[in-house]
Amino acid sequence: MSVKSNSGRVFKTKWFVRFAQKQDITDADLCKAFIDAKRGIIDADLGGGVIKQRIARPQEGKSGGFRAIVLFQVAQHCFFVYGFPKNQRSNITTNELKEFRALATELLNLSETQLETALDAGKFQEVTCYEKNL
């Protein structure tokens, strides 16, 4: 069953696309983080639609892997917007969190038409997730 059918759609920003490519983070990795969040397994709820999810390094576990800042609301859209290796940074700053919360308010309230326009303009890439494959 497709996750996007009734549980929102999953996107990654242009910045996150570059980060994921550089770190060998696959769409399947993002789907696993999304499915966990959808099931209530959230590594850190930062409030205002912002969560932090752990993503494992290839061939390793989550504890020493990556942290992803995700704009997420149950049964709504999900946006992967920022990531960092845990060994290079412990967390985001208070100012960054404020900015992510403001961005969450904006992106989580986009209409389908606005999302399609943003996709066509290359602002986001959509990730297709299928629960049965995870």
pLDDT digits (tens, 9 = 90+) for 77-110: 899 999 998 888 888 999 999 999 999 999 999 9
pTM of the model: 0.87
The predicted-structure confidence for 14-55, as pLDDT tens digits, reads as follows: 999 999 999 999 999 999 999 999 999 999 999 999 999 999
The residue extents of the domains of the chain are 3-133
Of 54, 113, 43, 112, the closest CA to residue 87 belongs to 54
**Cβ proximity of 81 and 71 under 8 Å:** yes
Q: Which residues of 19-50 are buried (b: 16+ CB within 10 A; e: fewer)?
A: bbeebebebebbbbbbbbbbeeebbeebebbb
Q: Under a CB-based contact definition with an 8 Å cutoff, are residues 68 and 34 in contact?
A: no
For the sheet with 50-55, list strands across it: 44-47, 50-55, 66-72, 78-85, 10-13, 124-127
